[in-house]
């Protein structure tokens, strides 16, 4: 991945220097200043549909329960968050009340008018709108810009998540939502696209239409064109106008292809950051394609932003299963003493998709290792195996996670099984696996530290398998000198104690124990004590994007990968990726709707493990 030399500059703080701005209308034209009044049109039937199939990652939706006391009030909005935010810089840059400054090219800038001198080599682009009004009274304290707003991810996940948060009170009522892309659209056209994907909670239907109207009226579009510098100048001008000179924080969600990320992030840093609050960027996985490209990407981002400004999002980490790992372990005395090699025989991590979710061409380009294993699987291992952090602060948790990642042995090709699904019938023609991109990954990992010495962490993930399953299964050692051994049958592995954390098909916590069957005689059974969430908790199930977006707003970084975590994860996978690139590892074909490659069973046997589901 190549980079321009301008990418390596002095890092911006969250209070960066104010970028150049320009007018919202030309004094010599009849174009109007953009309106920010609420629309009265209540028809929101979008004209655009979805392009292409859902990606493998789209099949996984996260769970996060939010407490109502975190909602924003009409007056306070995000002031609580701003006050508690640790990275709020003290070197606040004073702003003038005249809303006027002199640009470097000779352009005099005012709120609503621009007069360009004859010496100006270029004229800055204008922002047009069919509506007109004065600035919004009481500007928002938070603005969120979605870069790549017309892409499938933005339409299907990001905007619906933002509306769900707005609808349930977790975003300020006067928030500013901005869409930015290369397509030439109007505000109303973007709103129509977004409206077709929005839904309300099943138990809050009374004011759904009004809330949707209000949210859409707070949504604006910027046609960025193909010059990101020019586009970011326009974005900044519109955001400043909506903010109305008040203090406001900004989040930029970079939903853009990997090859465009560096240029977009660099232009954003130079021309779209605010000096009146904090700035944060959210980037999507994969975080590079290998160790080298990842280091280049990290170096480029850190040349423009501080680490605390960067939120690398993996929506699979927004599942309640992941969030509950530390809660279950560190808040229950019954589990913490057992959490080591002394009692745990092996750990099994499964993330599989059935025939309902097939990979798109995005997935073909990166494969399951770069898309799923590097982030989600290794982050799950790190959260499960880490030492107790000194607090729930994001940095304290990430400090412990990176220690685990650095302790995981580099994977050897002999400890990995790769697979690729093949078409089962002529009707299921496989158009995505015309190369060696793996759609299945299984491996045995070992953590070389005092807590987990010798315990295999067995992972498998793939698409086109027999069932959709997401779970963590911890199998315990057999009872030494078990006096009931003769009553347990020939296969003692079937009656081992287990702790099962299941996210799909039905979210549950299960503990397998040995128990006497009621009646005469002594007959043993191995039932599961279960906490089935759908029976116990009658609550809404937020999407994982809602969870992670709210964490980013709150400044909670523990579920977002830090730069050193990204590098440590690539170090684990690099030997296998290098062999794949040399075509020294060929994925084993498996039938659609099957259990995956046969070689995986030999791998489990090699490490003395039989999968419980088998």
Cβ neighbours of residue 269 closer than 8 Å, sequence gap 6 or more: 12, 16, 304, 305
Pairing, β 440-446 against β 456-462: antiparallel
Angle 208-217/159-167 helices, nearest 10 degrees? 120
Buried-exposed string 141-159: b where 16+ CB fall within 10 A, e elsewhere: bbbbbbbbbbbbbbbbbbb
45 classed as catalytic: no
Query: Is the dihedral angle over the CA atoms 449, 452, 453, 458 positive or is it negative?
Result: negative
Q: CA distances (Å), 91 to each of 58, 99, 155, 246, in order?
A: 41, 20, 37, 17
Max Cα separation, the chain? 102
Q: CA distances (Å), 486 to each of 475, 492, 494, 523, 577, in order?
A: 20, 9, 14, 11, 47
Closest C-alpha to 56, from 369, 381, 508: 369
- φ and ψ of 189, to 5 deg: -70, -40
Q: CA distances (Å), 432 to each of 17, 325, 355, 513, in order?
A: 46, 35, 14, 44
- φ and ψ of 557, to 5 deg: -105, 5
Beta bridge partners of 511: 499, 529
Q: CA distances (Å), 321 to each of 253, 318, 325, 557, in order?
A: 25, 8, 7, 17
SS3 41: coil
Q: Look up residue 482 and give its DSSP letter.
A: -
CB 13 within 8 A of CB 308: no
Cα–Cα distance measured from residue 231 to residue 221, given in angstroms and rounded to the nearest whole number = 11
Q: Given the residues 223, 241, 315, 376, select the one marked as catalytic.
A: 376
Strands (E), 42-109: 101-102, 107-109
Cα–Cα distance measured from residue 464 to residue 591, given in angstroms and rounded to the nearest whole number = 8
- As annotated, the active-site residues are 376
């Amino acid at each position: 991945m190549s980079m321009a030399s301008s990418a390596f500059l002095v890092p911006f703080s969250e209070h960066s220097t104010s970028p150049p701005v320009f007018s919202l209308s030309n004094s010599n034209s009849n174009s109007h200043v953009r309106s920010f009044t609420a629309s009265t049109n209540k028809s929101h039937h979008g004209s655009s549909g979805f392009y292409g199939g859902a990606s493998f990652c789209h099949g996984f939706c996260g769970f996060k329960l939010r407490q109502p006391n975190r909602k924003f009030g009409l007056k306070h909005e995000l002031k609580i968050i701003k006050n508690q935010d640790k990275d709020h810089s003290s070197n606040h840059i004073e702003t003038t009340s005249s809303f006027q400054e002199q640009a470097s090219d000779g352009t005099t800038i005012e709120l609503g008018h621009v007069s360009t001198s004859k010496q100006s080599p270029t004229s800055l682009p204008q922002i047009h709108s069919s509506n007109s009004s004065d600035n919004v009274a009481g500007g928002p304290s938070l603005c969120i810009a979605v870069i790549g707003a017309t892409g499938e991810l933005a339409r299907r996940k990001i905007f619906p998540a933002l509306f769900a948060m707005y609808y349930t009170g977790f975003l300020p009522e006067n928030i500013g939502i901005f869409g930015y892309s290369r397509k030439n659209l109007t505000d109303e056209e973007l709103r129509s696209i977004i409206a077709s994907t929005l839904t309300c909670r099943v138990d809050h239907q009374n004011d759904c239409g009004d809330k949707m109207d209000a949210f859409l009226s707070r949504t604006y579009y910027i046609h960025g064109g193909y010059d990101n510098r020019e586009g970011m100048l326009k974005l900044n001008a519109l955001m400043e106008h909506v903010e109305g000179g008040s203090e406001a924080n900004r989040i930029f969600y970079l939903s853009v292809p990997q090859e465009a990320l560096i240029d977009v992030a660099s232009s954003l840093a130079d021309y779209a950051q605010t000096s009146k609050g904090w700035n944060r960027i959210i980037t999507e996985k994969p975080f590079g394609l290998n160790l080298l490209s990842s280091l280049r990407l990290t170096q480029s981002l850190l040349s423009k932003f501080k680490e605390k400004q960067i939120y690398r999002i993996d929506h699979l980490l927004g599942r309640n299963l992941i969030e509950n790992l530390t809660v279950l372990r560190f808040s229950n005395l019954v589990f913490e003493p057992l959490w080591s090699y002394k009692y745990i025989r092996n750990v099994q991590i499964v993330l599989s998709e059935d025939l309902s979710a097939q990979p798109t061409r995005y997935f073909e380009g990166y494969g399951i290792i770069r898309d799923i294993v590097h982030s989600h699987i290794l982050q799950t291992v790190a959260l499960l195996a880490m030492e107790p952090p000194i607090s729930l602060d994001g940095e304290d948790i990430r400090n412990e996670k990176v220690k685990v990642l650095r302790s995981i042995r580099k994977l050897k090709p002999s400890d990995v099984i790769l697979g690729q699904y093949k078409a089962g019938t002529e009707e299921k023609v496989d158009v995505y696996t015309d190369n060696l991109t793996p759609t299945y990954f299984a491996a045995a990992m070992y953590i070389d530290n005092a807590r987990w010495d010798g315990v295999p962490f067995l992972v498998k993930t793939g698409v086109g398998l027999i069932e959709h399953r997401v779970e963590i299964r911890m199998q315990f050692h057999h009872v030494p000198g078990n006096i009931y051994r003769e009553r347990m049958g020939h296969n003692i592995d079937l009656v081992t104690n287990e702790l099962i954390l299941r996210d799909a098909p039905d979210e549950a916590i299960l503990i397998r124990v040995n128990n006497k069957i009621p009646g005469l005689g002594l007959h043993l059974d191995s039932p599961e004590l279960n906490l089935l969430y759908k029976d116990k908790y009658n609550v809404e199930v937020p999407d994982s994007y809602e969870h992670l977006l709210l964490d980013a707003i709150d400044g909670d970084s523990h579920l977002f990968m830090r730069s050193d975590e990204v590098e440590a994860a690539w170090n684990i996978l690099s030997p296998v990726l290098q062999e794949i690139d040399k075509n020294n590892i060929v994925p084993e074909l498996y039938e659609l709707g099957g259990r995956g490659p046969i070689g995986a069973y030999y791998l489990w046997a090699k490490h003395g493990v039989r999968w419980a589901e088998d």
